[in-house]
Amino acid sequence: MREISVYLHNFDSHRKGYVKIEKSLTYLYQGYVNSEKIISLFEYWLFSLSTLHRCYGDKGLNEFLLSRNNDPISYSYFNEFGIEETSSHDLNINKKVILWIDRYFPMQYRLPSAPSAGFSLSLLVKHTKLLVSQLPRNSDNILVIKITEIINLYLFHLGINANNIFFNKNIPDVFISQQIKCNNLRETRLECAPIEIMQFKGYECILLLNRKIDIVGHQHGGGYDVAYNDPLTYFEKMVSNSFIGWGFSKENAHQTRYSASQKIDNEKKNGKVIWIESSNDSKFTSYCYPVLFDVKKCSEIPKYIYNELAEHGVNYFNKKYPGKLESNRYKGIRGTVISSDQIAEKLLIRGDVIIFDNCMHSLMYYCLENQILFLIVDKRDIVQYYTHKMFLWYKVLRKNNLLFHDDEYGFLSKRIKTLDSRRELPKEVYMYYKNMFN
């Protein structure tokens, strides 16, 4: 667990550096209606700078700051895996459109990854993206100078020499722009996955409006509030007025990413055993999700699953992670390989047995929605980092023999072999999901 301590120490170091410049930021943005959110977003960006430096040194930080890519996560995957950077959106500012926005801007906005079932909500997402892309960004030269000074001071406290780093080349516009005057000053709600405005693609500039933006943050994938001490989750909640999760958060709602499939074969009895692989992660994201990363880099879990399946004669399939994020942890231990181009949820049917090698995979929700039996293998010493709600879920899974540890030799294969011919998700597990996760 030494590695987790290193990741957590990185966040602690960030906080110690940040508190030294927090008052200056409060003073600098005191005239902005959405100052608190801008400051929270700025703290995430500072955390990203120091973490990128820790991961890639002076060269990597310089490269990030001189590139057109403002998203630290996207940059980290480009740096390590060659996945192309996402270019910033070019603005096509039209004064007539801006005047129209001033007068008719709606009271509700929506960005990708917020629940968007239905035509009207999908249309609202497109409408919001279009309007936000037209907002004028007028740089404030004095603000640029002061923000650059603050960045240098923050890094100095962390022992990073910033003399040769040209910060003003890539400071996101939301931190160095004048407030945007809007005649219609009604309070407005923005529903989104907070990460959408933390990628600095332009959506975050909605916070420059002199109108209060009430952000309702939504979970958009697996793993949220499963473990304590996830910095990225911390920052997503910091920029939100409220945050709605899928089951483990303080406030929850039924997830809409996965729904009950019409293709489920209720009569199928003996389906496939399918091992869902985990992805490669960048060094940067290891500091964002330290507990999950510690599990995903563990070589003992795949070895345990392989030994349980292969040595006890269980025929199985592997669903590889697509693209350049395919992990090399599974080389030499895969069963029959399912093409990475195939969408996983379109392959899984009732009667199959799905194996996850971490407890944070979002496909677990698809299995729950469709009552597909799944088995999880996790590290035993990770349990100490579980949140209270995750620990309760863990106990339900353990009681129903759905979660195993990588030192329980023979347990996983025995569970698969002793399943009833009709492989079903235990009723207690399904009802717990229906009653407690919604």
In this prediction the pTM is 0.91
Query: The CATH number of the domain where 390 resides is what?
Result: 3.40.50
Helices (H) and strands (E) in the chain, counts: 15, 11
Do 168 and 278 share a domain, yes or no?
no
Positive/negative CA dihedral, 365, 369, 375, 380: positive
Residue 399, H or E segment:
helix 388-399
Q: In angstroms, rounded to a whole number, what is the distance separating the alpha carbons of residues 294 and 238? A: 24
Domain boundary among 174, 199, 218: 218
Tell me the C-alpha distance between 163 and 241, whole Å.
37
Q: Which DSSP letter does residue 93 get? A: -
Residues 181 and 306 occupy one common structural domain: no
Q: Is residue 173 part of a domain?
A: yes
Note down pLDDT in tens along the chain; length 438 residues: 557 888 878 999 999 999 999 999 999 999 999 999 999 999 999 999 999 999 999 999 989 988 888 999 999 999 999 988 644 444 444 545 554 555 656 678 899 888 866 777 888 888 888 888 888 899 999 999 999 999 999 999 998 876 656 565 689 999 999 999 887 778 889 999 999 999 999 999 999 999 999 999 999 999 999 998 899 999 999 999 999 999 999 999 989 888 887 555 555 566 899 999 999 999 999 999 999 999 998 999 999 999 999 988 999 999 999 889 999 999 999 999 998 788 888 899 999 999 999 999 999 999 999 999 999 999 999 999 999 999 999 999 999 999 999 999 999 999 988 887 778 899 999 999 998 766
Is residue 170 within 8 A of residue 71, CB to CB? The reply is no
Q: What DSSP letter does each residue of 240-274 carry, written as one string?
A: -SEEEESSSSSEE----SS---TT--TT--S--EE
Q: Kindly state whether residues 109 and 174 are assigned to the same domain.
A: yes
- Locate 111 and state its tokens: 């960005």
Same domain, 307 and 212: no
Number of domains in the chain: 2
- What SS3 state is found at 28? helix
For the chain, the first-to-last Cα distance in angstroms comes to 33
Q: Are residues 304 and 410 in the same domain?
A: yes
Determine, yes or no, domain membership for 251: no
Domain identity same for 206 and 285 = no
- Domain limits for position 298: 273-436
Q: Tell me, yes or no, whether 154 lies in a domain.
A: yes
What does DSSP assign to residue 370?
T
Task: Residue count of the chain, please give it.
Answer: 438
Spatial CB neighbours of 412, under 8 Å, sequence gap ≥ 6: 304, 305, 308, 309, 375, 377, 404
Q: Is 197 found in the same domain as 87? A: yes
Angle at 160 between CA 155 and CA 162, to 5 degrees: 75
The residue among 218, 234, 253 that closes a domain is 218
Among 218, 246, 281, which residue terminates a domain? 218
Interior CA angle at 248 toward 12 and 109, to 5°?
A: 85
